[in-house]
Amino acid sequence: MQFKSLLLLAGATILSPYLVEAQTYTICNPLNGTCPNDPALGTNHTFIFNTSSTVTDYYNITAGSLTYGDDGAEFTISKQGESPTIQSKFFIFFGSVSVIMKAATGVGVVSSIVLESDDLDEVDWEFIGGNDTHAETNYFGKGNTTSYDRAIWYPTPADPTANFYNYTVDWTAERIEWWIDDSLVRTLAYADAVDGKNFPQTPMSVRLGIWSGGDPKGNSIGTIEWAGGETDFTKVPFTMYVKSATIQDYSTGSAYEWGDRTGDWQSIKVITGNSTVAKTITKNATPTLSLGEKWDNLSKTTKLAVYCGGGAAVAALVSVFLFTFFRQRRNGRLEREAYNHLIEKQQQEAYQDQMELHNKGIGGWDKNAYANQGGDALGGWEDNHGSGYVGPNGSASAMAAGGVGSPMVQAGQHNPRSPTMVMRDGDGDGPMSPQSAEFDMKLAQPRFGGSANGGSYMKM
């Protein structure tokens, strides 16, 4: 489409520095050769001309430039030779076009709404700056300009150069209607256009613009007369204002293909799918809202539901927190009780060990075991032990028979747990460092004639 627009600009420049005859032209005529498919609108949309984005997204500026104000897009002629014009980036295959606009003042200045096809089918609304009572309706079929008797003027409710009105073209395969606001002013039937031969019936783009039909440079005398006379450029600027354009495509598809070179509507093929323009419209119609704006757009019922849902969510979170808290607290108590139980058990076991040691005595000897074992618990030193040490002067049996036994420990004289430590010096007279334990025993007189150190020991 951008390439097509560049060709359009180049072609317009070659034709003339001034766009004439309602700015009707084509860059590729399907009656003469193969042309690219026409991109479809495929939907309906109201284009608001309060910012440049509308023109940038959906139209090409084919001549001049536009400004924007409170009254919409401003198409201004500020000097001789200017003719600001826009052309839609899409085509409609039968449809409705409603433009809210105010025409420009100035003798010879033409404000226009034009539906134009590639083979020069055309439907017009035109306003002459010097005419403050009427608007012109017109049409052409396949570029046939052999006569100019198709134009019809209709009165407007008031001065069209001082007031905004809604100018509509409603176009079907059977007829074309021109409306001013809610008033139908003209109808053209298919058969009334030379049995349909001159009836506009192929996909058309929408063009809005202003040009000077009264400019003597480049315009014929007939055109200047039609425009109301020569334009006085000392009275510039001349401005046409467009607030909006509501456009509906009666066909739905992504593009329109010319099937042959007849120019008949039956030869046009509708390519299915979503059009590029329709996708752009959908995207732009869904602006990114802030959280505050999204909240403000909610209904009271939805807000109440959000409040309830939020309260339920908070309650659920609190419940989860409390459940987790008490569960952790319970687990902590159980762990503490288990730990205390373990400590108590260890303390009890330690206490029992101490009591067992106490019962056994400091040396660890078990009194009960000693009592049960008898004299053997002290290595055999028991009062009634029957066998003693036998020296060289007697046998064990003889000593037993004679009552001679091991040395006797006096009862109550010594503690049975350990022998008394006796300290003696070298000559037996004084104390010294302990060398060995010694039982303090009294020796019995030797029997059988033995010496004092040669016999057996006897307990006393």
Q: Where are the domains of the chain?
A: 2-287, 290-364, 378-460
CB 204 within 8 A of CB 92: yes
CATH of domain 2-287: 2.60.120.200
Pairing type for strands 59-63 and 268-271 reads unpaired
Q: What pLDDT sits at residue 365?
A: 52
Max intra-chain CA distance, the chain: 186
pLDDT at position 16: 37
Does the annotation mark 122 as catalytic?
A: yes
What does the alpha-carbon distance between residue 133 and residue 154 come to, in Å, rounded to a whole number? 8
Catalytic residue among 74, 82, 116, 122: 122
What's the mean pLDDT in 240-269? 97
Per the CB < 8 A criterion, the answer to whether 200 and 122 are in contact is yes
Q: Looking at the predicted structure, is the pLDDT value of residue 128 above 80?
A: yes
Average pLDDT score over the chain: 80
Name every residue whose Cβ is closer than 8 Å to that of residue 221 and which is 6 or more positions away in sequence. Answer: none
Nearest to 50 by CA among 285, 241, 239, 243: 243
**Report for 108-112, 281-285, 389-393: range of highest mean pLDDT:** 108-112
Q: In the predicted model, is pLDDT for residue 204 greater than 50?
A: yes
**If pLDDT is split at 50, 70 and 90, which confidence band does 387 have?**
very low
Name, in order, each residue with C-beta under 8 angstroms of 89's C-beta and a sequence gap of 6 or more: 1, 39, 58, 59, 60, 277
Instruction: Give the pLDDT confidence of 267-278 residue by residue, as tens digits.
Output: 999 999 999 999
Per the residue annotation, which of 74, 116, 126, 136 is the catalytic one? Answer: 126
What is the C-alpha separation between 313 and 319, in angstroms, rounded? Answer: 10
Contacts of 130 (CB under 8 A, 6+ apart): 106, 107, 108, 228, 229
- Kindly report which listed range (21-30, 72-81, 91-100, 449-458) carries the lowest average pLDDT score: 449-458
Residue 138: strand, helix, or coil: strand
**Which is nearest to 188 in space by CA: 122, 245, 135, 248?**
122
Q: CB under 8 Å to 432, separation ≥6 — which residues? A: 423, 424, 425, 426
pLDDT at 292: 75
Residue 367's pLDDT band, with cuts at 50, 70 and 90, is low
Predicted pLDDT at 23: 58
Which tokens is 278 given?
């329709």
Check residue 253 and give its pLDDT.
94
CA angle 191, 196, 201 (to 5 degrees): 125
116 is catalytic: no
